[in-house]
């Protein structure tokens, strides 16, 4: 058996592929366009591993996806590919519409045709798992209960609106065509291979470079943090036992204001790699203009996944954030390649043409 993963060179996708092949021998076909967010270097530990096939291409390219499905006959397609950064969606929403909505639509069409042609047993066993976000539910006040799976969709950024649209398409393909879909809506992830445009890796990288640590607005916006391998284990569990057509929220009950996150990162760096002048990294914190339309609070109610499928996260925030800071300190080459843009030439350098 084989699975096909889209976006498997990005942050969560690459962690998922590495995690999957640590836990099982089932081969992975990894289709990724290698946008600025895709980094082939995340997967070098799989070089020469016959269980991993990397395909450089667009998940919205119907001919390519048709050919991959026909050749490899996967028992499941897991869709991680997306434009994922809220700030980029504000400055340039077009790419988000194209990738997250049109791309997902094209993928669904290719998968529907493939699934429709399978023989009965394979057809019954097939799954399409769509990886989505808690941002589709909008913003909570301090006292609102956490998002459940039946919370109304109220996306507030072009990113979250495009993800909401993709979730609706996935739902519609189940209800209209019977496609066996599963959707996960997860809270903020952190961990290895996180691109340093997002809060936690940006703070780790900027702190060490002696740069400002830009906190948007008053820094009291709340996010609900989950270590990335816990997201991966949740996806594996939903793929294995999730009920068809259902949505599962994924989160670790770790709500924290942004400023607390930045202070925690600074304190860990003070301990693990103190500044040469002996001053604390938090001296680098700078308050900057807030993100337009900035959601105030996200919080995930993960009880459905916990009770129905028995999933629980393995990491606490304290263990996960320590591992994360340590990973960035232990991988200066990865960081340098990302900062210099050299990671974009990685394929040519490493593998020739």
Binding site for ligand NAD (CB under 6 A): 6-7, 9-13, 31-35, 37-38, 58-60, 80-82, 84, 99, 103, 131, 133, 163, 186, 188-189, 195
- The whole-angstrom distance between residue 116's C-alpha and the CA centroid of its chain comes to 29
Closest separation in Å from C-beta 184 to ligand NAD? 8
Based on the shown chain and the rule CB under 6 A, indicate whether residue 15 belongs to the binding site for ligand DAU: no
Contact 130, 181 (CB under 8 A): yes
- Look at residues 69, 72, 82 and name the one whose alpha carbon lies nearest to residue 110: 69
Q: What is the chain's percent helix, strand, coil content, to nearest 5?
A: 50, 15, 35
Smaller CB separation from ligand NAD, 149 or 270: 149
- DSSP assignment of 199-268, as one string? HHHHHHHHHHTT--EEEETTS--EEEEEEHHHHHHHHHHHHHHPPTT-EEEE--S-EEEHHHHHHHHHHH
Closest separation in Å from C-beta 199 to ligand DAU? 4
Give helix then strand counts, H and E, for the chain: 14, 12
Cα gap 8→14, rounded to integer Å: 5
Which residues, 6+ apart, have CB-to-CB distance to 277 below 8 Å?
none
> Among the options 32, 58, 83, 134, which is catalytic?
134
The yes-or-no answer on residue 134 being catalytic is yes
The yes-or-no answer on residue 153 being catalytic is no
Smaller CB separation from ligand NAD, 207 or 300: 300
Smaller CB separation from ligand NAD, 227 or 281: 227
User: Of ligand DAU, ligand NAD, none, which one does residue 99 interact with (CB within 5 to 8 Å by kind)?
Assistant: ligand NAD
* Subset of residues 71 to 100 that bind ligand DAU, contact rule: CB under 6 A: 84-86
- Look at residues 47, 172, 194, 164 and name the one whose alpha carbon lies nearest to residue 112: 172
Closest separation in Å from C-beta 150 to ligand DAU? 18
Contact 350, 54 (CB under 8 A): no
Please tell me whether residue 346 adopts helix, strand or coil conformation. helix
User: Of ligand NAD, ligand DAU, none, which one does residue 11 interact with (CB within 5 to 8 Å by kind)?
Assistant: ligand NAD
Closest separation in Å from C-beta 198 to ligand DAU? 3
Site string for ligand DAU, 105-144 (x = CB under 6 A): ----------------------------xxx---------
- Of the CA atoms within 13 Å of residue 347, those in its CB half-sphere come to 13
Site string for ligand DAU, 196-235 (x = CB under 6 A): --xx--x-----------xxx----x-x------------
> Among the options 83, 135, 167, 295, which is catalytic?
135
- Phi then psi for residue 215, to 5 deg, are -100, 125
Please tell me whether residue 307 adopts helix, strand or coil conformation. helix
Closest separation in Å from C-beta 278 to ligand NAD? 34
The yes-or-no answer on residue 109 being catalytic is no
Smaller CB separation from ligand NAD, 138 or 281: 138
Catalytic positions, written as ranges? 134-135, 159
């Amino acid at each position: 058996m084989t699975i096909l993963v889209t976006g498997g060179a990005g942050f969560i996708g690459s962690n998922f592929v590495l995690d999957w092949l640590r836990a099982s021998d089932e081969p992975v076909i990894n289709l990724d366009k290698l946008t600025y967010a895709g980094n082939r270097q995340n997967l070098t530990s799989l070089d020469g591993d016959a269980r991993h096939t990397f395909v450089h291409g667009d998940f919205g390219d119907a001919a390519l996806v048709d050919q991959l499905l026909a050749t490899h006959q996967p028992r499941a397609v897991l869709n991680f590919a997306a434009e994922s950064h809220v700030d980029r969606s504000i400055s340039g929403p077009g790419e988000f519409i194209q990738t997250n909505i049109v791309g997902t639509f094209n993928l669904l069409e290719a998968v529907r045709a493939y699934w429709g042609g399978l023989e009965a047993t394979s057809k019954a066993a097939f799954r399409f798992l769509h990886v989505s976000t808690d941002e589709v539910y909008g913003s909570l006040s301090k006292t609102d209960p956490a998002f459940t799976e039946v919370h109304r969709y109220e996306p507030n950024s072009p990113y979250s609106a495009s993800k909401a649209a993709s979730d609706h398409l996935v739902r519609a393909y189940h209800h209209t065509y019977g496609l066996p879909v599963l959707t996960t809506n997860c809270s903020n992830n952190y961990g290895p291979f996180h691109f340093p445009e997002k809060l936690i890796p940006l703070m780790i990288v900027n702190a060490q470079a002696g740069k400002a640590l830009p906190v948007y607005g008053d820094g009291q916006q709340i996010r609900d943090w989950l270590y990335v391998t816990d997201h991966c284990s949740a996806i594996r569990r939903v793929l294995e036992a999730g009920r068809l057509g259902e949505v599962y929220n994924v989160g670790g009950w770790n709500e924290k204001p942004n400023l607390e996150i930045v202070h925690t990162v600074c304190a860990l760096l003070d301990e693990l790699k103190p500044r040469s002048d002996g001053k604390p990294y938090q001296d680098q914190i700078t308050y900057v203009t807030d993100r337009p339309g900035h959601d105030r609070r996200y919080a995930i109610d993960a009880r459905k996944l916990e009770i129905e499928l028995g999933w629980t996260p393995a990491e606490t925030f304290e263990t996960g954030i320590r591992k994360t800071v340590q990973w960035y300190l232990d991988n200066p080459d990865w960081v340098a390649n990302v900062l210099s843009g050299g990671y974009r030439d990685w394929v040519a350098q490493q593998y020739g043409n």
